[in-house]
Amino acid sequence: MFKLKEDRDYVALEKKYVFGTWRYEYTWKPLLIEEGKGCYFKDFKGKRYLDFSSQLMCSNLGHRSPKVLEALSEQANKLCYAAPSFATKPAAKLGEKLADITPGDLQKSFFSLGGAEANEAAIKIARLYTGKTKLISRYRSYHGATSGAIALTGDPRTHYAIGMPGIVRAPDCYCYRCPLGKEYPGCGISCVEYIDEIIRMEGEQSVAGVVVEPIVGSNGILVPPDEYMPRLREICNERDVLLIADEVMTGFGRTGKWFCMEHWDVVPDLMSMAKGLTGAFIPLGATIARKKIAKFFDQEGNLFCHGHTYAMHPLCCAVALAAIQEYIDKNLIENASKMGAVLGKRLNELKEDHASVGDVRGKGLFWGVELVKNRKTKEPFVTRREKFQPNTLKKISVAAMERDVYIVNVINTLIIAPPLIVKEEQIDKGIQVLDKAIEIADKECK
């Protein structure tokens, strides 16, 4: 029987036999990690790190939740897989639960294996339902790596992939660096009004939907003004266009609400989700549609022309049900709101102490710290083209890891998004380390 020796170099082994994600393979020098518990994970030597970004902003429940692992084991001992032509209790119960916790009349779900697949389903459902093909997304966005999802995406990764036709770009709600050269609140929310112009110019008869991250995630934690989403909902209603919310990163309490769109009392027509759906304990994505869309596919002759081998996977659905119950039982949505206020206050205090901190923005436990070489000119340390190159923000993340805190950096922003179980003393620890690490950028300020 094939068996790996315990003294082997597993980093070298993985580097030799496994492709990575979004990286230059020759530069990859990772830390080998072996276990996690709560808000922490350990490397192979037993050193413990505070997970201040929830891995890829997905470990909402932290690591090794006993209740979730118990549900996984229980379902695995019953039924791990069923072809999607069969019905299973976990899929039925999860569909019902999502209809209960999502806003408005969102009702019927399709279950896939991640955020990209959830967005692919949203694309197809929107086109089938409306009979129209074009989709509007924004320049600073990320919706996944598969063909349709990467076509929606506007960040630098788009240049490395072949997408699909029919995508039209819109300006971002990036108040710190307004793409239209305006300043809030005197701008009249021109960025959202321009989406109305795009729909009219492209032709209402050809635009199926507008796809947005309620708070843009890996392109800088861009929080829209409070008027933005309600106005976008009005525009979509007026132009008979679907509003599609990508809540893959913002869902399941991350922003202090079950779903981010609830901050503005806006109900999208389609919503995609993943990450926090299972707390990242096991892969699962979901695309939920409003009642009117569900009714359309219930009619004779309207084929739901989409599917996967692992759709409605019973093991994944059982884990999601357990994860949702953990959010409820531990009052984690409320904790995200409460601890989010603490985290936001601490981060804004850092801004006062560091010349390199240009902007701090976020909601709940989902914050971004944008660094600049000069506050007046807002010159960034890292441009979009330099995303995958060695840069100052990567140095800051390395410095934080040396002090036992893991922080994700994307382009010119540090993403601070600890698990929803985080406590104030853990936030204080993370901020103390970040305070020290940001000094690297301060020294490079002009």
Q: pLDDT of 278-291, one tens digit each?
A: 999 999 999 999 99
The amino acid present at 332, given as its one-letter code, is: L
Residue 293 tokens read as: 């869309």
Question: What pairs with residue 40 in β-bridges?
Answer: 37, 50
Q: Read off the pLDDT of residues 144-167 as tens digits, 9 standing for 90 and up.
A: 999 999 999 988 776 666 668 899
From residue 278, how far is each of 63, 252, 272 by CA, in Å?
Answer: 12, 9, 14
| Domains by residue range for the chain, with CATH | 10-64+331-442 (3.90.1150.10), 67-329 (3.40.640.10)
Q: In the prediction, which pLDDT does 1 show?
A: 40
Which residues, at least 6 apart from 315, have a Cβ–Cβ distance to it below 8 Å? 72, 75, 76, 79, 80, 81, 90, 282
Q: What is the pTM of this model?
A: 0.96
Q: What is the DSSP letter of 203?
A: -
Report d(CA 21, CA 171) in Å as an integer. Answer: 27
Q: What length does the chain have? A: 446
Q: Which helix (H) or strand (E) holds 33?
A: strand 33-37
Report d(CA 38, CA 204) in Å as an integer. Answer: 49
Report d(CA 390, CA 381) in Å as an integer. Answer: 11
What sign for the dihedral angle of Cα 93, 95, 96, 102?
Answer: positive
Query: How does residue 6 score in pLDDT terms, banded at 50, 70 and 90?
Result: low
Q: Read off the pLDDT of residues 84-129 as tens digits, 9 standing for 90 and up.
A: 999 999 999 999 999 999 999 999 999 999 999 999 999 999 999 9
CA nearest neighbour of 240 among 369, 130, 92: 130
| Mean pLDDT, rounded, for 204-226 | 97
The amino acid present at 369, given as its one-letter code, is: V
Report d(CA 371, CA 369) in Å as an integer. Answer: 6
Indicate the pairing of strand 357-363 with strand 366-374. Answer: antiparallel
Provide the total of helices (H) and of strands (E) in the chain, helices listed first: 14, 16
Compute φ and ψ for 436, nearest 5 degrees: -75, -45
Average pLDDT score, the chain: 95
Strands annotated E in 187-274 = 207-212, 242-246, 270-273
The amino acid present at 41, given as its one-letter code, is: F
| Mean pLDDT, rounded, for 237-262 | 98
Indicate the pairing of strand 106-112 with strand 134-138. Answer: unpaired
Strands annotated E in 176-225 = 207-212
What sign for the dihedral angle of Cα 46, 48, 53, 54?
Answer: positive
Q: Is the pLDDT of residue 13 over 60?
A: yes
